[in-house]
């Protein structure tokens, strides 16, 4: 079914993340709702109150954002938000005759969605609490940040609400085939309820640089090669592996900068800086912190290689953005990553925590720039063909039509 032939619907998204974009869920809601609204659907978004949001214009007049006040208290603040979201969702469902409520896991607990709901319920699963918890077992408990300690300590509690929402859903969207398999094997959901719809990427926004040398100079990298990581600074992202691979790389290739960009939680960046200093690579490791979404394309364009050494993933947006930007990728063979990266073709795949393997693959790309360029171009072609937001929105509309009758 093509998007223009689908029945138009009223959809309400419940999400703690939206504008400004700081994570995968926020990006998913922003780009998906933008595409859905372009087809003519009416979109409502219940999200956290954020003063920074006033700087961002809504992408379409058919999108209405309803903000909920929150408390700046870990865990309690989230509970407060979801309880109030439940009330707001019940209110607007009746007022605007919502056809579909769309939420994202693992962030939204079941009590955030009223049980007496006339609308159909669609759930997109990006990762699972089980997978998140398993990935944290590789780190000593004392080294985890506050959020990670909560995930590990209360994992069974979080999974209870997660499973409850999955059971209540009319349809489940898994962002990768791996995610679907994880749901069927670990959560015992019906296969008929689950469909795979990949995340998308804006290939017009994220694209290769016309003059990479000029962009490098503008960003201050000059003749240095740039190995880039973009994403939140979480333990499961495997950044310790990247830092420990850096000395091996620098022994053979001195003119390289390792750029780490992403939001840090509870001192995580300081821990990584301490390790970089202990390894003697602090001058070659640059921490850029959170880069606004509108400035990210230029950072990708200045890079030569993208790395994603994660222990656990679903379908990471940064992987798609880097590929759209024409970068060869070195990533781990986890989650949905192998569904984007073919080993030896548009990048390399390694095992999680493989320091030597990561260093060897990065060195190969640094020492073979022509091959790296070819891999990057192939990655660009793949995302253009398979991961457009229009394609995602059309498939999501098919799900909406199916569950809303």
Q: By C-alpha distance, which of 354, 355, 345 is closest to 323?
A: 345
Give the pLDDT of residue 50.
72
Residue position matching structure tokens 């979404």 = 293
User: How large is the angle between the packed helices 369-386 and 317-324, nearest 10 degrees?
Assistant: 120
Domains of the chain (ranges; CATH) run 3-200+388-404 (3.40.50.2000), 212-386 (3.40.50.2000)
Q: Check residue 55 and give its pLDDT.
A: 57
- CA–CA dist 3, 39 (Å, integer): 7
Q: Helices 317-324 and 24-38 sit at what angle, rounded to 10 degrees?
A: 70
Q: What is the pLDDT along the chain (405 residues), one digit of tens a residue?
A: 444 467 899 999 999 988 777 788 999 999 999 999 999 999 999 998 876 655 566 777 899 999 888 877 766 778 889 999 999 999 998 889 999 999 999 989 999 999 888 899 999 999 999 999 999 988 888 888 888 888 999 999 999 999 999 999 999 999 999 999 999 999 989 999 999 999 999 999 999 999 999 999 999 998 999 999 999 998 899 999 999 999 999 999 999 999 999 988 778 899 999 999 999 999 999 999 989 888 999 999 999 999 999 999 999 999 999 999 999 999 999 999 999 999 999 999 999 999 999 999 999 999 999 999 999 999 999 999 999 999 999 999 999 999 987
* Interaxial angle between packed helices 389-404 and 24-38, expressed in degrees from 0 to 180 and rounded to the nearest 10: 80
pLDDT of res. 231: 94
How far from the centroid of its chain's Cα atoms is residue 136's Cα?
Answer: 18
Say if CB 366 and CB 345 are below 8 A apart.
no
**For the chain, counts of helices (H) and of strands (E):** 14, 13
Percent of residues in the chain assigned helix, strand, coil, to nearest 5: 50, 15, 35
* Residues making up the chain, counted from first to last: 405
CA angle 282, 287, 289 (to 5 degrees): 160
Query: Which run of H or of E encompasses 226?
Result: strand 225-230
The whole-number pLDDT of residue 299 equals: 97
pLDDT of residue 2: 47
How many Å apart are CA 112 and CA 161, to the nearest integer? 10
> What DSSP assignment string belongs to 23-71?
SHHHHHHHHHHHHHHHTT-EEEEEEE--GGGGGS--S-TTEEEEEE---
Residue 337: closest CA among 372, 309, 299, 367: 309
């Amino acid at each position: 079914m093509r998007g223009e032939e689908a029945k138009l619907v009223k959809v309400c998204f419940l999400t703690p993340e939206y504008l400004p974009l700081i994570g995968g869920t926020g990006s998913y809601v922003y780009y998906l709702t933008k595409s859905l609204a372009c087809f003519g659907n009416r979109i409502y978004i219940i999200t956290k109150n954020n003063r920074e949001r006033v700087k961002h214009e809504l992408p379409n007049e058919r999108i209405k954002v309803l903000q909920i006040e929150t408390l700046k208290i870990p865990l309690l603040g989230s509970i407060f938000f979801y309880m109030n979201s439940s009330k707001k969702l019940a209110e607007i469902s009746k007022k605007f005759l919502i056809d579909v409520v769309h939420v994202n896991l693992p962030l939204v607990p079941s009590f955030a969605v009223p049980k007496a709901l006339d609308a159909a319920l669609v759930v997109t699963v990006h990762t699972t609490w089980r997978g998140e918890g398993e990935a944290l077992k590789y780190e000593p408990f004392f080294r985890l940040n506050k959020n990670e300690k909560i995930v590990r300590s209360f994992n069974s509690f979080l999974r209870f609400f997660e499973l409850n929402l999955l059971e209540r859903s009319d349809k489940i969207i898994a962002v990768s085939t791996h995610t679907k398999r994880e749901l069927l094997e670990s959560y015992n959901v019906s296969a008929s309820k689950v469909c795979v719809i990949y995340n998308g990427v804006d290939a017009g926004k994220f694209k290769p640089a016309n003059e990479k040398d000029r962009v490098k100079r503008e960003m201050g990298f000059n003749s240095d090669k740039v190995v880039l990581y973009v994403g939140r600074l979480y333990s499961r992202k495997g950044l310790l592996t990247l830092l420990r691979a850096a000395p091996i790389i620098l022994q053979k290739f001195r003119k390289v900068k390792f750029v780490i960009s992403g939001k840090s939680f509870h001192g995580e960046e300081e821990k990584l800086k301490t390790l970089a200093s202990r390894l003697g690579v602090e001058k070659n490791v640059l921490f850029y912190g959170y880069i606004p979404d509108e400035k990210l394309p230029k950072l990708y364009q200045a890079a030569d290689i993208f790395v994603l050494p994660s222990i656990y993933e679903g379908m990471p947006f940064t992987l798609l953005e880097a590929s759209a930007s024409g970068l060869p990728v070195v990533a781990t063979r986890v989650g949905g990553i192998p569904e984007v990266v073919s080993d030896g073709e548009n990048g390399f795949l390694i095992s999680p925590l493989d320091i030597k393997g990561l260093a060897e693959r990065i060195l190969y790309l640094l020492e073979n720039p022509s091959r790296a360029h070819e891999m990057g171009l192939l990655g660009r072609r793949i995302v253009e063909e398979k991961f457009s937001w229009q394609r995602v929105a059309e498939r999501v509309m098919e799900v909406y039509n199916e569950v809303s009758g």
